[in-house]
Amino acid sequence: MADESKHDEQAAAQTEQAKEALLIGLTAEQRAALLQGDRVDALSEAEIRARLAGNDSGDTLEHEDLVAGMAHELTAQSQVIDLLSEQREPEGLNIAKVLDSATIDLRALMSMRISDRTVDCIGPLADEARRSRIRDEISLPTSKAIEMSVKSVRVRLGRVVITASSIFLGIAFFASVRTTALCLRAAGEATEAGEGARLTWLIIMALLVSVVGICNAMLMAVTERFREIGTMKCLGALDHFIVKLFLIESGVLGLLAGVTGSLSGVVVMYLVNSLRYTFHLTDVIAGFGGILVQGILLGSILSVLAAILPASQAAKMPAAAALRSTV
């Protein structure tokens, strides 16, 4: 049963391809004349054939050859697909074996579609539906982008540590100031009036400095990778894929720097203050949790913000210019 439906599917796909092949050889004018307002997908292969046969004007149109060529290609293709499915044995596919036994080779490999998405030309046949389909046919799933970014961070660890250090320091400063204030309050020590406002300003300044720092580091990191960006564009990446990759990468960095920075700020300042003042850990532990969460959020958000400018500038570059760069 299952075999039969598979067969039907295959036959339908072949009819589709035959239709396409019939149309491929035509110039825009010939296509227009042939179709006369009809949509291709509404016509059967037989209809197209019939119209082609009746269309004497196309003297450059050797559709007999075309059909013959396509028929050959179709058998070649189904042969390979059959062979490939037979070959799905434990030892896996062996293209050499497949090609040998099929007596046809790369031609079929290249026209074989593993995905059943039809990949036809944008062509003069492009209509609104086709255009919107094109939008769906180019994508970078977020899960894949995260995987790529995390890998990139892991591989470039040395470089990444430097990039992340400015945000690390900023968050560590933020966490230590907040921790000290918390410990003092818990110990019942009075703070001067206006002290709180002054510290808030200091924190803001420190964070601004680290944003500028990470922005600068990102700018360098992006510049170093112009060629990589150009390559990705050649492989079909849209500008916003590039931005997405860099923002996620920066977010991962910020997360790491936020976790380590706020942890070290809290731990160090807790130890320092517990030597000077007397207070109970139970009184401050909840506050520490809040500081950690704030630090991590701040770290990730600020570093994503800092990457927006460098990443979008680099992504806008024409592919040729990005590829030329020799940095």
Partner 1 sequence: MADSNGAKEHLNEEYIVRTKDLTKHFQMGDEVVQALKGVSVDVFRGEYISLMGPSGSGKSTLFNMIGGLDKPTEGTVFIDEVDMAQLDAYELAWLRCRKIGYIFQTFNLIPVMTALENVTLPMVFAGMTSDEQMERGRLLMDTVGLGHRLNNKPGELSGGQQQRVAIARSLANSPSIILADEPTGNLDLKTGKEIIELLRRLNQESGVTVISATHDLKMVDVSDRIIWIRDGLIDRVQTRSELGDQITEMEH
Does 232 help bind partner 1 (rule: CB under 8 A)? yes
- Span of 88-96, 214-222, 277-285, 292-300 interacting with partner 1 by CB under 8 A: 88-96
Cα separation, 268 vs 262, in Å, equals 10
Q: Contacting partner 1 (CB under 8 A), which of 110, 275, 286, 327?
A: 110
Q: Contacting partner 1 (CB under 8 A), which of 71, 138, 205, 212?
A: 138
Does 135 help bind partner 1 (rule: CB under 8 A)? yes
Residue 42, both tokens? 């509404």
Size of the site for partner 1 (CB under 8 A): 64
Minimum CB separation from partner 1 for residue 193, in Å?
A: 54
- Span of 160-168, 214-222, 230-238, 248-256 interacting with partner 1 by CB under 8 A: 230-238
Say if residues 98 and 84 touch (Cβ distance below 8 Å): yes
Q: Contacting partner 1 (CB under 8 A), which of 8, 9, 65, 189?
A: 65
Which one, 62 or 189, has the nearer CB to partner 1?
A: 62
Residue 56, both tokens? 């004497």
The residues in 112-131 that bind partner 1, with binding defined as CB under 8 A, are: 112-115, 117, 119, 121-124, 126, 131
Q: CB under 8 Å to 59, separation ≥6 — which residues?
A: none
Q: Exposed (0-12), middle (13-18) or buried (19+): which is 194, by Cβ within 10 Å?
A: exposed
CA distances from 45 to 20, 79, 302 (A): 9, 22, 58
CA distances from 24 to 127, 139, 161 (A): 17, 27, 54
Does 53 help bind partner 1 (rule: CB under 8 A)? no
Cα separation, 164 vs 255, in Å, equals 10
Q: Contacting partner 1 (CB under 8 A), which of 11, 32, 129, 155?
A: 155
Does 316 help bind partner 1 (rule: CB under 8 A)? no
Cα separation, 175 vs 206, in Å, equals 11
Minimum CB separation from partner 1 for residue 27, in Å?
A: 7
Does 140 help bind partner 1 (rule: CB under 8 A)? yes
Q: CB under 8 Å to 158, separation ≥6 — which residues?
A: none
Does 91 help bind partner 1 (rule: CB under 8 A)? no
Q: CB under 8 Å to 226, separation ≥6 — which residues?
A: 314, 317, 322, 323, 325, 327
Site of interaction with partner 1 (CB under 8 A): 24-25, 27-28, 60-62, 65-66, 69, 92-96, 105-107, 109-115, 117, 119, 121-124, 126, 131, 134-141, 144, 151-152, 155-156, 227-228, 230-239, 241, 318-321, 323
